[in-house]
Amino acid sequence: MKQLFFTAVTTLALAVAPRASAQCFQFTDGHVDLLAVNWNSASNQLTLMASDDASGLLYASNQCVVICPESMKFTLPAGTPLGNEGDPLWILPQNPYTGVPYVGISAESVTTGVFNDPFTLTLTRLEGPGQFIVWQAGSFGGFDVKMDTRDGIGANDSLTLLVGGHAHYNWGFTTNGVYRAYFQASGVRVGQSTNTVSPETPFTFHVVPLRPFENWTATNWPCECATNIIAASADPDGDRIVNVLEYAFGNNPHVALYTNVPAITFVTDSGTNYGALRFVQATNATDLTFNPVAADSVTSAIWSSLTNTVSVVTNGATQTMTVRDSLSMEGTTNRFYQLRVKLNYP
């Protein structure tokens, strides 16, 4: 009789209290200075925050997210530096539109006499499914591109802003999804010769529609930017099930509970005994590919997909799949099984 092994997981039971999600303010319309330069004279610290024009409140970058609606998806005409004719581009515009965030930059809270002109706001990195472009449209149809990740990110991806100043730009995204753009502010204080630099600060954009895994992540951690929490390969609750598998199995990523993991079972088909793999699928995880496979050795270069579905049992938002091996339990000594889950994501 064969010995059956499942190589992807082991058995463990843990339980801890759920982690609470932080409050997250969504900018869906109105005027927001997303890159608002602030100077704290007591701590000698330069920071970037989001300033809500309507309420006058300031939000740290992990307390807010900017929503770019699907209505702001445009098809590019010929002759622009923003992409090829026919390419899509989601745009947060430099002019106000009803129902769309009117995103600006500001150094209005910094009093004169503390810093020399100008401040420099630099894009340091980008996380997201597409590219990011920032530009101003001239009165005669020109394009003054300030940041453009299509050719990489460097020192030239920057804006300048006068002390006490305020400005608006177009913010463009080449595809929908969740983006995190990281910025730094720098300036030279009066009487000094070296730059004072803010911490690298991420700001989050939800360019609608979100993909299912992005929506799952945004629901569980609305404003979170730390990759050790939100990345597909992260395991923030420490239960040894990474986020993409928590999502795949319909688990709660805030509770350290080793549950819904694949398991080996045995089935009899037409009088013949087979090893089989049983696993749970979240029915809304439509951007995942589940591929159960088997091999005679864990180091084998050839793993065969298991395509003989024995049963599908639906239970609310999940379904339990049982798929059997194509080889019977008679014959070779060992048989190894894996469940391979692929996130189909740009």
| Residue 113 maps to a domain | yes
308/174 same-domain check: no
Query: Which CATH number fits the domain that encloses residue 278?
Result: 2.60.40
254 inside domain:
no
Classify residue 274 as exposed, middle or buried by CB count within 10 Å of its CB (0-12, 13-18, 19+).
buried
| 176 inside domain | yes
Q: How far apart are CA 244 and CA 340, in angstroms?
A: 11
Return the CA Rg of the chain. Answer: 26
- In this structure, are 291 and 202 located in the same domain? no
Neighbours of 64 (CB within 10 A): 23
Q: Which residues contact 109 (CB under 8 A, 6 or more apart)?
A: 36, 37, 38, 39, 51
Q: How far is it, in rounded angstroms, from Cα 346 to Cα 17?
A: 34
Helices of type H across the chain: 212-220, 227-230, 243-249
Domain stop point among 226, 243, 269: 226
Q: Which domain holds residue 188?
A: 25-226
In-domain check, residue 231: no
Are 46 and 154 members of one domain? yes
Do 318 and 194 lie in one domain? The reply is: no
- Would residue 201 count as lying in a domain? yes
Same domain for 292 and 147, yes or no, is: no
Same domain membership, residue 102 and residue 211: yes
Instruction: Tell whether 251 is covered by a domain.
Output: no
Residues 105 and 217 in one domain: yes
Prediction pTM value: 0.88
Last residue of a domain, one of 208, 226, 244: 226
In a domain, 339, yes or no: yes
Residues 213 and 263 both lie in one domain: no
Indicate whether 11 and 47 sit together in one domain.
no
154 and 39 in a common domain: yes
Are both 152 and 269 inside the same structural domain?
no
pLDDT of residue 320: 98
- Supply the pLDDT for residue 140: 72
Residue type, 264: I
User: 279 near 241, Cβ under 8 Å?
Assistant: no
For residues 122 and 157, what is the distance between their CA atoms, to the nearest angstrom?
6
* pLDDT of the chain, 346 residues: tens digit per residue: 445 544 543 222 333 333 334 579 999 999 999 999 999 999 999 999 999 998 999 999 999 999 999 999 999 999 999 999 999 999 999 999 999 999 999 999 999 999 999 999 999 999 999 999 999 998 777 899 999 999 999 999 999 999 999 999 999 999 999 999 999 999 999 999 999 999 999 999 999 999 999 999 999 999 998 999 999 999 999 999 999 999 999 999 999 999 999 999 999 999 999 999 999 999 999 999 999 999 998 899 999 999 999 999 999 999 999 999 999 988 667 899 999 999 998 7
Strand partners, 159: 121
List 207's β-bridge partners, or say none.
68, 177
Complete DSSP assignment for 10-28: -------PPPPPPP-EEE-
Number of domains in the chain: 2
One-letter amino acid at 213 equals F
Is residue 245 a part of any domain in this protein?
no
What SS3 state is found at 306?
coil
In this structure, the answer to whether residues 299 and 171 fall within a common structural domain is no
- Rounded CA separation 107/181 (Å): 19
What does 65-122 look like in DSSP terms, one character per residue? Answer: EEEE-GGGEEE--TT-TTS-TT-EEEEE-SS--TTSEEEEEE-TTSPTTSBPSPEEEE
